[in-house]
Amino acid sequence: MTPLDSLYDLTAELYGLVQQPLLAEEREDMITKVESLLQERSQYIDELVQSKESQKDSRGKIIVSMNAIIDSTLLKWKKSVEEDLQKTKAKKQHVNRYVNPYGNETFDGSFYDKRN
Protein backbone atom coordinates (compact mmCIF):
# COMPACT_ATOMS: atom_id res chain seq x y z
CA MET A 1 0.00 0.00 0.00
CA THR A 2 1.45 3.32 -1.03
CA PRO A 3 1.52 6.37 1.23
CA LEU A 4 -1.14 7.98 -0.98
CA ASP A 5 -3.46 5.00 -0.50
CA SER A 6 -2.93 5.11 3.26
CA LEU A 7 -3.47 8.87 3.32
CA TYR A 8 -6.66 8.52 1.29
CA ASP A 9 -8.00 5.81 3.61
CA LEU A 10 -7.20 7.80 6.75
CA THR A 11 -8.72 10.95 5.28
CA ALA A 12 -11.88 9.06 4.32
CA GLU A 13 -12.12 7.63 7.83
CA LEU A 14 -11.59 11.07 9.37
CA TYR A 15 -14.15 12.56 6.96
CA GLY A 16 -16.71 9.97 8.02
CA LEU A 17 -15.94 10.65 11.67
CA VAL A 18 -16.47 14.40 11.42
CA GLN A 19 -19.77 13.90 9.57
CA GLN A 20 -21.23 12.48 12.79
CA PRO A 21 -22.68 14.94 15.30
CA LEU A 22 -20.49 15.77 18.27
CA LEU A 23 -22.44 14.66 21.32
CA ALA A 24 -21.39 15.79 24.78
CA GLU A 25 -21.29 12.21 26.09
CA GLU A 26 -18.97 11.02 23.30
CA ARG A 27 -16.84 14.16 22.98
CA GLU A 28 -13.73 12.76 24.67
CA ASP A 29 -13.72 9.59 22.56
CA MET A 30 -14.29 11.51 19.33
CA ILE A 31 -11.51 13.98 20.07
CA THR A 32 -9.13 11.14 20.92
CA LYS A 33 -9.96 9.33 17.66
CA VAL A 34 -9.56 12.51 15.63
CA GLU A 35 -6.20 13.30 17.24
CA SER A 36 -4.84 9.81 16.52
CA LEU A 37 -6.03 9.94 12.90
CA LEU A 38 -4.50 13.39 12.42
CA GLN A 39 -1.17 12.19 13.77
CA GLU A 40 -1.17 9.20 11.42
CA ARG A 41 -2.12 11.44 8.49
CA SER A 42 0.69 13.86 9.22
CA GLN A 43 3.24 11.05 8.84
CA TYR A 44 1.85 10.07 5.45
CA ILE A 45 1.66 13.69 4.35
CA ASP A 46 5.33 14.13 5.16
CA GLU A 47 6.15 11.05 3.07
CA LEU A 48 4.08 12.35 0.15
CA VAL A 49 5.69 15.77 0.24
CA GLN A 50 9.06 14.11 -0.11
CA SER A 51 8.00 11.69 -2.87
CA LYS A 52 5.80 14.06 -4.97
CA GLU A 53 3.52 11.10 -5.75
CA SER A 54 0.30 13.00 -5.06
CA GLN A 55 0.66 15.21 -8.14
CA LYS A 56 0.15 12.24 -10.47
CA ASP A 57 -3.06 10.94 -8.89
CA SER A 58 -6.55 12.43 -8.88
CA ARG A 59 -7.09 11.17 -5.34
CA GLY A 60 -4.94 14.05 -4.15
CA LYS A 61 -7.66 16.47 -5.25
CA ILE A 62 -10.29 14.41 -3.46
CA ILE A 63 -8.15 14.40 -0.32
CA VAL A 64 -7.81 18.19 -0.49
CA SER A 65 -11.59 18.67 -0.85
CA MET A 66 -12.30 16.31 2.05
CA ASN A 67 -9.64 18.08 4.09
CA ALA A 68 -11.41 21.43 3.63
CA ILE A 69 -14.61 20.00 5.09
CA ILE A 70 -12.68 18.30 7.89
CA ASP A 71 -10.97 21.59 8.79
CA SER A 72 -14.22 23.54 8.92
CA THR A 73 -15.90 20.86 11.03
CA LEU A 74 -12.99 20.72 13.46
CA LEU A 75 -13.15 24.51 13.84
CA LYS A 76 -16.86 24.21 14.69
CA TRP A 77 -16.05 21.53 17.26
CA LYS A 78 -13.36 23.76 18.76
CA LYS A 79 -15.80 26.65 19.07
CA SER A 80 -18.33 24.35 20.70
CA VAL A 81 -15.81 23.18 23.28
CA GLU A 82 -14.70 26.77 23.95
CA GLU A 83 -18.32 27.85 24.46
CA ASP A 84 -18.86 25.01 26.90
CA LEU A 85 -15.75 26.01 28.82
CA GLN A 86 -16.94 29.62 28.99
CA LYS A 87 -20.37 28.51 30.20
CA THR A 88 -18.77 26.34 32.87
CA LYS A 89 -16.55 29.20 34.01
CA ALA A 90 -19.52 31.61 34.17
CA LYS A 91 -21.56 29.06 36.09
CA LYS A 92 -18.73 28.58 38.57
CA GLN A 93 -18.48 32.35 39.11
CA HIS A 94 -22.23 32.59 39.56
CA VAL A 95 -22.23 29.82 42.16
CA ASN A 96 -19.35 31.49 44.02
CA ARG A 97 -21.26 34.80 44.07
CA TYR A 98 -24.37 33.05 45.33
CA VAL A 99 -22.49 31.24 48.10
CA ASN A 100 -20.58 34.35 49.23
CA PRO A 101 -22.44 37.45 48.02
CA TYR A 102 -20.39 39.88 50.13
CA GLY A 103 -17.00 38.43 49.27
CA ASN A 104 -16.40 40.53 46.18
CA GLU A 105 -15.87 44.26 46.11
CA THR A 106 -18.42 46.33 44.27
CA PHE A 107 -17.30 48.81 41.64
CA ASP A 108 -20.61 50.55 41.10
CA GLY A 109 -19.52 53.90 42.55
CA SER A 110 -20.51 53.26 46.13
CA PHE A 111 -18.07 54.07 48.92
CA TYR A 112 -17.31 51.88 51.89
CA ASP A 113 -15.41 53.32 54.84
CA LYS A 114 -12.66 50.89 55.83
CA ARG A 115 -11.18 52.90 58.74
CA ASN A 116 -12.87 50.83 61.43
Nearest to 67 by CA among 41, 93, 91, 88: 41
pLDDT of residue 113: 62
What does the pLDDT read at residue 115? Answer: 67
Examine the pLDDT at 104 and tell me if it is beyond 70. Answer: no
Question: Residue ranges of the alpha helices (H) in 52-108?
Answer: 59-99
Whole-number pLDDT of residue 106: 58
pLDDT digits over 37-82, tens only? Answer: 999 998 888 887 777 655 566 787 888 889 999 999 999 999 999 9
In this prediction, residue 3 carries a pLDDT of 81
CB-based burial of residue 29 (10 Å sphere; 0-12 exposed, 13-18 middle, 19+ buried)? exposed
Taking 60 as the threshold, does the pLDDT of residue 92 lie above it? yes
Query: Which of 65, 89, 83, 78 shows the shortest CA–CA distance to 30?
Result: 78
pLDDT at site 22: 83
**Cα separation, 103 vs 61, whole angstroms:** 60
Say if residue 107's pLDDT is above 80.
no
